Structure 1
Amino acid sequence: MNDTLHDFIAQLERHQAEGRDLGQLLSVDPVRQLALPLNHQTCSQLRAMAQVFQCDEALLASAILAGALRHMQQHLDEDLDALARLAREALDSPCQAASEAI
């Protein structure tokens, strides 16, 4: 585990020990989104690609999804670091401290 993530976990532990709500710390905007809408157009494109490459549509779809997951996995550490930085900024924010005081 890298330092940024380790620091964030330590901050979570401190907040929990103090009895503070962790909800705001844990709700941050995602840094990466993966979406593959399965609408009529996507299915048509998948069918056409399967015909071009002369392969089964289901196998092609699973290969595309597996590739997308590999891509996400390769960048997972970077994404976790970015999420930890966002959470730390929220923790250190004077606005956050003021809202908790209220």
Structure 2
Amino acid sequence: MAKCEWCSSEKTKAVTDKVYWELPDGTKAIQIDETPAVHCLDCQMTYQTEVITKEIEDQLFLIDTKKLGKVVTFEELMAQPRLLKRNYFDFSS
């Protein structure tokens, strides 16, 4: 596991966590259960990596979010059929 992004400790472990995400259109927020996360054993911070954050944000741009309930697992979210092949609004790569 990598160093903690908050305190730089090397005592981290991979976990899953519940996160809340606002949909790109701003109509509602959803709960995403079993989301991959990093937990630091020193500072006790639990967070998502930039990679996971980008995966969630991209997926929410590419699917019909009206079909999502208030609660979804990370796996269910990522399995939703995409309307577009990629996020054409992401100019970071």
The two structures have a TM-score, normalised by structure 2, of 0.25
The higher relative CO (CA closer than 8 Å, separation ≥ 6) is in 1
The two structures have a TM-score, normalised by structure 1, of 0.24
The structure number with the bigger radius of gyration is: 1
